[in-house]
Chain A
Amino acid sequence: MTQPAPDRRTTELAAAFVDLRTALGRVLIGQDDAATGLTLALLAEQHAYLEGPPGCGKSELAAALAALSGARTHTLVFHRDIRESDLLGDVLLSRHRHRGHERLRRELIPGPLLQAEVALLEDLPRSPGEALGPLLRILAERHALGQPLPLESAVATGPLEQVEAPIDPLEPGQLDRFAVQHRMTGLLTGELFDEAAVLLEREAAREPSEAASRPVAGSAHARAVAGAAPRSAVMSTGTRNAAQRAAASLRIEARTIDAYHRLLDRLRQRSADESASGDRLMSDRSFSSAALRLVRAHAFLRGAPAAAPRDLHAIRYMVAHRLPDEVQEDFDHILEELLGDPPNVTMTETGAQMPGAQSQGDDSDGAAAASPASDSWIDDQADLPAPPTLFGKPPPPAQVDPLLRALVGRIERGRIDPDTDPGGQPRGYRPLRDLDEVIDADVIEALLFTEGRLPGAPRTFERKRRSAGGAVAVLRDISASMAGRLTVWSSQVVLGILRVAARRRMRVGYVEFHHRALPHEVGGRLLHRSYSRLAEQAGQAKAVGQTNYEAPLRTALEGLRGGSGRNRHIVLLTDGLPIIGDTTVRRERQLARRLGVALHTVFLGNGDCPPVLDDISLETSGLRFYGRPTAGGGLRLEER
């Protein structure tokens, strides 16, 4: 359809996008990879997902892309109560008289989001499933309400996956709609102190912004320029679209395709390694059309006439939620090995200078010298710390799923509080029961309802939230006999329980014990929600001393005693007979029964399970599990 443009024109078009990349690179200090990823996304007309800790500049960068590219844009901030009409547009309600009766029809008029060329979707994971489903479909199909959309790229931002955050993280399948995925790291937590110094200097030189003369109260409507200085576009829509067309029709060299096949092989092999943590999703959708569009864009930006194997570097802007973390970290190395020559010059060096040079001309050299290594964008902060390794090589993982499933079942069963909660997330609809709920009702139906023209009640959000109640205390035997593999396995069990607890916002307690109980308290309390801190702790346990059941049970029960709620659990993780203290723990069993705490026991040792563990669990209706070594040297947990 479109013939490749003449060379000079192509050069101009590429130059426009190089300018865009340069300008983007100046917006944030030390976030060059994010700038490159967004540039590639727009050029390849792909969607992008930027994730990072709060305050690292995700939104600013996304907004800058829209402004600098001269695209028609719309920003949508996702939140709990977002509705379909926010996404799609106004409602058109038509009434027709038809053979004596009135017929009501409800349609949607495409709103600003559907007219945007670059759509900014802020805090995307904060949205409930109801709004997210239609949106993701629109993004994939680029078609809504029966018409094609002008959308070129949607840029979404989201927080780093954190177990503490009160949101359900997006699934890899949902994130797969975003071809470009990039994880940003803060300068401070990423230990990029030189870049941090540049930023501090820039801030110290900051002039009072126009913000000092903010619009006075009442004129909040006035579209005054607030905060950051406006950015003017570096290209026209005509140039942008011509460049996108030219990039899309760029030839891909045969050896590039060949190298791509080998790269995919390699990535598949590496991702198959079970011990690697992180997502694995190499979908056909992303790794065929989207990936090759990005490779072409990479070549186009380089000014190359065809995509060479080195342009496969573009793939690394796709991998944040598609490959295990370890493979991501190794990506540059894998590709380099495959290409059989030293790393190619990437765009960071050819396309743009180090940002932060604006109004500090003579500092730019120093800053450039401090430019991060090319792979510094990779965030090596895993969700939870990896289990400790033993002699450098981790043993096969413990299969803790049966235990966790059973435990989750028990936790769910024990839950008394209803799931519905007026402050929760909208999770579906139900008819209005009470006029108070009109605030949460479907606007159009409520309108018709008040006019007496709706048969029945308007539908209103059914709000639910994960029960915040409940508590689980993990008691972990760290006596000398637990050394070696058992330490690693029990760490994995503890981490698994912490994940379950975090997902349900249960308070957790963690007590390591040998002859004494060693509770890990936060702020003087045994039970709290500092999941990741406990996870860190659980990874550091060392095996010493002898076994005593009484002390840890006593500690945990005391901790649980103060709390309210019925959903309280203790998980006792041990490998041996108690030697010290009351070995029958009679008083603790009594106390647990009185408090209604379920004592679950997990026996990990090689020998026979001590009968006292069975007694403990049976009396308190707790679960009984034991761990059996598998042929491959792993561990499988089964019910006793």
Chain B
Amino acid sequence: MNDLTPLGDLLDHHVVGHDEVKTALLLALVTREHIYVEGPPGTAKTRLAEVAAKGSDLDFFFYQLHRDTRLAELVGDIVLERRKVRTDGAAPGTAGEAERIHQRIEPGGLLTAEIAVLDDISRAPGEALNVLLRILNERRFGADPIPLMAAIATGNPMDDEYYNEPLDPANLDRFALQLRVSGLIQSGVDEAKTLIDRFASGSVVEQPDPEPVTDRATLDALHKRMYAVEVGAAVRAALLDVLRTLVLEFECNETNSLLTDRTFLVKAIKILRGAALLAGRDAVDLQDLAALSWMTTFRVPPEAHEALPRIIGRVSRQVRAV
């Protein structure tokens, strides 16, 4: 039981299965990191994002990306300010009225939201996404900080030939947490039965929009408590060993991976703290390292990502032995 249990319950109430995505969404809210969920159409990606966003009573911005996405649609209206000035023309007949025209953006959309759902991010061309992702990354627009806590993005599989806008992997780096979902029915897991039963019983026909079950104050307090979670030398050593293994054994480098310092040396510490907090601990434990695999999904080659639980297990045993 932690302060976000009600939100977790709400997610369970609205969506069957997808436990990992649910936990990762809570983790995103606690750590204030962005999250990207990728999966084929109809796998409750958008629903999960919406429930998490609306259930937390934050200023909410939903945007469906498309091929022509323009900056103005995301950040507010472009405003022209016109001011009359006098000019003293040197040449005869040139003195008179002049107008100074200043173009600025009236903040809206992403700039004023506390939580944002960016749907179908893989449909917008990389050139258009660049500004958006930069805002997400720096959490400021120009010189002004923005109140955004977390952005939840969804997308279709990158290698799907059906959509011809593959997401630039460097853009995906802005999302600290990245998960891949597959449909319950397609993958034939047990929850598929629950899902069908639920609809068959007629109890859930159309879900109304969820009511908030947590609030800004709770999230602020949690975020503050996150920093009190201790990250001991053993955990740090283990984290570094995992990263070292990825670089040296799995040959992750700048061409095949996004093993960036920002993500794995700075944000990873936050993610580990958040994972420990959600598990009700006040110090990061070696088992919290499992959360790292929500960071590597699209950042390292598939074989390295799949091997991660094994690497973490091995490193943890070694660290414990010392």
Which chain A positions have C-beta within 8 A of B80?
Answer: 443, 447
Q: Is A562 an interface residue (CB 8 A)?
A: yes
Interface string of A180-217 (1 = CB under 8 A from B): 00000111110101001101110110111001111111
**CA of A389 to CA of B159 in the docked complex: distance in angstroms?**
34
| Chain B nearest Cβ from A70, distance in angstroms | 17
Interface code A59-97, partner B: CB below 8 Å = 1, 0 otherwise? 100000000000000010101110001000011111111
Most central of A208, A220, A424, A425 by chain B CB within 10 Å: A220
Quick check: A196 and B243 within 8 Å, CB to CB?
yes
Tell me if B143 is interfacial: C-beta within 8 Å of chain A. Answer: yes
Q: Which residue of B lies closest to A507 (CB)?
A: B161
**Beta-carbon contact of B128 and A80 below 8 Å:** yes
B125 in contact (CB, < 8 A): yes
Interface residues on B, range: 35 or more
Q: Per a CB cutoff under 8 Å, which of B93, B100, B101, B263 touches A443?
A: B101
Task: Contact check, B93 vs A97: say whether CB atoms are below 8 A apart.
Answer: yes
Q: Are the CB atoms of B260 and A53 closer together than 8 Å?
A: yes
Query: Is the C-beta of A393 less than 8 angstroms from some C-beta in chain B?
Result: no
Q: A99-B93, A532-B256 are in contact. Are A85 and B164 (CB under 8 A)?
A: no
Given contacts A206-B227, A216-B147, A423-B69, contact A226 B265 (CB under 8 A): no
Which of A96, A216, A536 is packed against the most chain B CB atoms within 10 Å?
A96
Measured between C-beta atoms, what is the minimum distance from B36 to chain A in Å?
Answer: 15
Residue in B124, B159, B230 whose Cβ sees the most chain A Cβ within 10 Å: B159
Q: Cβ of B168 < 8 Å from any Cβ of A? A: yes
Which A-chain residue is minimally distant from B230 (CB atoms)? A204
Report yes or no: A189 in contact with B240, Cβ–Cβ below 8 A. Answer: no
Q: Mark A448-476, 1 if CB is under 8 A from B, else 0.
A: 00000000000000000100110000000
Pairwise interchain contact B143-A223, C-beta atoms closer than 8 A: yes
Closest to B236 in A: A200
Closest chain A residue, CB of each to CB of B161: A563
The listed residue (A98, A167, A193) touching B244 by CB distance below 8 A is A193
Complex CA–CA separation, A219 to B230 (angstroms): 33
CA distance A167 to B69 in the complex (A): 18
Beta-carbon contact of A123 and B134 below 8 Å: yes
Q: How far, in whole Å, are A350 and B71 apart by their CA atoms in the complex? A: 47
Q: Counting CB contacts under 8 A, is B254 at the interface?
A: yes
Q: Verify A56–B239 contact, CB threshold 8 A.
A: no
Q: In the docked arrangement, what's the CA distance between A94 and B96, Å? A: 8
Among the interface residues B71, B125, B169, which one has the most CB atoms of the partner chain A within 10 A?
Answer: B125
What 1/0 flags go to B103-117 for Cβ under 8 Å of A?
100010001111000
Decide if A98 touches B256 in the complex (CB within 8 Å). Answer: no
Q: Is the CB of B98 within 8 A of A92?
A: yes
Interface residues of B in 133-147 (CB under 8 A from A): 134, 138-147
**Among the listed B98, B124, B255, which residue makes an inter-chain contact with A381, where contact means beta carbons less than 8 Å apart?**
B255
A217 and B254 contacting across the interface, CB-CB below 8 Å: no
**A99 / chain B contacts, CB cutoff of 8 Å:** 93
Q: A223-B144, A447-B80, A562-B161 are in contact. Are A98 and B112 (CB under 8 A)?
A: no
| Interface residue A129 (Cβ < 8 Å from any Cβ of B) | no
Q: Is residue B258 within 8 Å, beta carbon to beta carbon, of the partner chain? A: yes
Considering the chains assembled together, what is the distance between the CA atoms of A221 and B143 in angstroms? 9
Given A93-B101, A189-B259, A381-B253: A528 and B159 interface contact (C-beta under 8 Å) = yes
Query: Among residues 50 to 106 in chain B, which have CB atoms less than 8 Å away from a CB atom of chain A?
Result: 59, 67-72, 78, 80, 85, 87, 89, 93-103
Chain A interface bracket (under 10, 10 to 19, 20 to 34, 35 or more): 35 or more
| Residues from chain B with Cβ under 8 Å of A160 in the complex | 254
For B111, the closest partner residue in chain A by CB is: A220
Nearest chain A CB to B3 CB, angstrom units = 15
Contact B107 A220, beta carbon cutoff 8 Å: yes
Contacts of A193 in B (CB 8 A): 240, 243-244
Determine if A55 and B263 form an interchain contact, defined as CB atoms under 8 angstroms apart. Answer: yes
Tell me which residues from 189 to 230 in chain B have a Cβ below 8 Å from any Cβ of chain A.
220, 223-224, 226-227, 230
* In the assembled complex, B266 has its CB within 8 A of some CB on chain A: yes
A79 CA / B256 CA spacing, docked (Å): 25
Contact A80 B127 (CB under 8 A): yes
Minimum CB–CB distance from B83 to chain A (whole Å) comes to 9
Known: A81-B70, A214-B145, A220-B107. A525 touches B240 (CB 8 A): no
**In the complex, which of the residues A122, A185, A204, A215 has the most CB atoms of chain B within 10 Å of its own CB atom?**
A204
Contact pattern, B 234-271, Cβ under 8 Å of A = 1, otherwise 0: 00110110011001100011111111111111100110
CB <8 Å contact, B99 and A94: yes
Contacts of A221 in B (CB 8 A): 107, 144
The answer to whether B185 has its CB under 8 Å from any CB of chain A is no
Verify B94–A95 contact, CB threshold 8 A: no
B124 near A423: Cβ-Cβ < 8 Å: yes
* B166 sits at the interface (CB 8 A): yes
A208 touches B243 (CB 8 A): no
Tell me if B184 is interfacial: C-beta within 8 Å of chain A: no
User: Which has the most chain A C-beta neighbours within 10 Å: B143, B226, B230, B302?
Assistant: B143
Contact A93/B131 with A217-B59, A523-B302 known, Cβ cut-off 8 Å: no
A98 to B173, CA, bound (A): 58
Q: Given the complex, which residues of B lie within 8 Å of A222, measured CB to CB?
A: 144
Q: How far is the CA of A94 from the CA of B147 in the complex (A)?
A: 39
Pairwise interchain contact A201-B236, C-beta atoms closer than 8 A: yes
- Verify A188–B260 contact, CB threshold 8 A: yes
Docked complex Cα distance between A164 and B99 (Å) = 45
Q: Which residues of B contact A201 (CB under 8 A)?
A: 236
User: B67–A164 contact, CB under 8 A?
Assistant: no
The CA of A56 and the CA of B258, in the complex, are separated in Å by 11
Known contacts being A97-B96, A227-B139, A562-B161, is A199 close to B127, with CB within 8 Å? no
Taking the complex as formed, is A165 at the interface, i.e. its CB lies under 8 A from any CB of chain B?
yes
Known contacts A196-B243, A203-B265: does B146 contact A166 (CB below 8 Å)?
Answer: no
- Looking at the complex, which one of A85, A204, A527 makes contact with B103 (CB distance below 8 Å)? A85
Say which residue of B112, B138, B265 sits within 8 Å of A196 (CB atoms).
Answer: B265
Contact across chains for B145 and A79 when beta carbons are under 8 A apart: no
Q: Is the CB of A80 within 8 A of B159?
A: no
Considering only residues 413-427 of chain A, those with a C-beta below 8 Å from chain B are 421-425
Contact (Cβ within 8 A) A423 B261: no
Q: Roughly how many angstroms separate A184 CA and B231 CA in the complex, as a whole number?
A: 28
Contact among A220, A468, A532 for B255, CB-based, below 8 A: A532
B101 contact from A90, A191, A468, A536, Cβ within 8 A:
A90
CB distance from B39 to the nearest CB of A (A): 14
The interface residues of chain A lying within 8 Å CB-to-CB of B183 are: none
Q: Which residues of A sit under 8 angstroms from B146, Cβ to Cβ?
A: 220
Pick 14 A–B contacts, CB within 8 A, sort by A.
Answer: A59-B138, A75-B143, A92-B100, A92-B101, A95-B98, A98-B93, A126-B130, A186-B260, A189-B252, A189-B259, A200-B269, A440-B70, A443-B103, A528-B159
Residues of A that sit less than 8 Å from B by CB: 53-57, 59, 75, 77, 79-81, 85, 90-99, 103, 105, 109, 122-123, 126, 159-160, 162, 164-167, 185-189, 191, 193, 196-197, 199-201, 203-204, 206-208, 211-227, 379, 381, 421-425, 439-440, 443-444, 447, 465, 468-469, 522-523, 525, 527-529, 532-533, 536, 562-564
8 shortest interchain CB distances as A-B pairs: A55-B262, A55-B260, A226-B145, A94-B98, A204-B231, A166-B126, A208-B227, A423-B125
* 15 additional contacts (CB under 8 A) given A90-B102, A219-B147: A56-B262, A81-B71, A96-B93, A97-B96, A126-B127, A164-B169, A186-B260, A193-B240, A208-B227, A221-B107, A221-B144, A224-B145, A439-B72, A440-B70, A564-B161
